[in-house]
Chain A
């Protein structure tokens, strides 16, 4: 079976592309690891036109149901590991199966950047958290570290001040990059200690996290702080390795596209946060997904 179009990703960009492709009667398959992604962590979305306020999860649920009302084939819980082109057709492979299509849209978004240090994986859910909104209350009267002194890290720290006894914010650079007003607010709580020039080296513990080791870049000295929790907020990253044979990536790993969502390979399109577009918003990702589906439709029409 050769599909007209395969869409990789089930966030706002992929879903919008799916709706458009199905309405254009393209024989479409959508492959995704999960529904939503980043937006599912948002408690409230207040800038999706037509809905004053909705949780990210509910918004994605509605989008998914909307898409499923059209004729479109779906493979859930599948992570694409390879994308290639043989002759005129593309091959898309996940861990179990391989699919073929005449055109492909990559819309698999961004995921939280990880530190890749010892202990990070081992203690995930055992003190290491990627979701302060979810887990902050568990750290009542405990000592925690926030990795990343940008606005996201500051936001995480703001969630934590309500509960934790002491919060260390560790930043790699000379200065905290987050908003100075938020920094001031955090400082006023007298619970927060700011540490700059810190390279995180290891998260240690037995059953749960017990301490964090970082190197002071100024003195090259290793330091250990006792913490029960580590909140990692060092930004998001595009994960497009599976497509590297066919696309150009910019220096932060995003897929380079033109204004009509074409990548450098004819028939291969990309949309949303995985691309090098500047603004990352649900409404923009959805628009980009729609554009990519329309461009793919046009491309397929020309081939016939």
Chain B
């Protein structure tokens, strides 16, 4: 299960989501500017307040950390 916590205005959120789409990875897109409960959940679970945050099967990655995300998604030979 992959969830992306984002806001509509954050450039790296767009980059992250495009990256997932380019790699045909399905994800649930959560807009924390609209969903306060989800925002609180993201802050509690990631221990910080910045977006984007990606939840990859329970593991939270803060920011567009391409290396870590690739590793967790087991995307080894991609751009």
Contact = CB atoms under 8 A, between A and B. Distances in A.
A127 B11 contact: no
Query: Which has the most chain A C-beta neighbours within 10 Å: B10, B12, B14, B39?
Result: B10
A208 interface: yes
Contact of B49 (A40, A42, A56, A129): A129
Interface residues of A, number: 24
A138 B51 contact: yes
A56 B7 CA distance: 17
Interface in B4-19: 7, 9-15
Contact residues on B (Cβ < 8 Å of other chain), bracket = 10 to 19
B33 A134 contact: no
B75 interface: no
Contact of B7 (A127, A134, A207, A229): A134
Given A43-B9, A57-B14, A133-B10, A138 B62 contact: no
Interface string B37-48: 001000100011
B51 A135 contact: yes
A262 B42 CA distance: 49
A163 B7 CA distance: 12
Contacts of B15: 57
Contacts of A131: 10, 50
Contacts of B33: 137-138, 140, 163
Query: Which has the most chain A C-beta neighbours within 10 Å: B12, B36, B39, B49?
Result: B49
Interface of A: 40-43, 55-57, 125-127, 129, 131, 133-138, 140, 159, 163, 207-208, 229
Interface of B: 7, 9-15, 32-33, 36, 39, 43, 47-51, 62
Given A57-B14, A135-B49, A137-B9, 10 more contacts: A43-B9, A126-B47, A126-B49, A129-B49, A134-B50, A137-B7, A137-B33, A138-B39, A138-B50, A159-B9
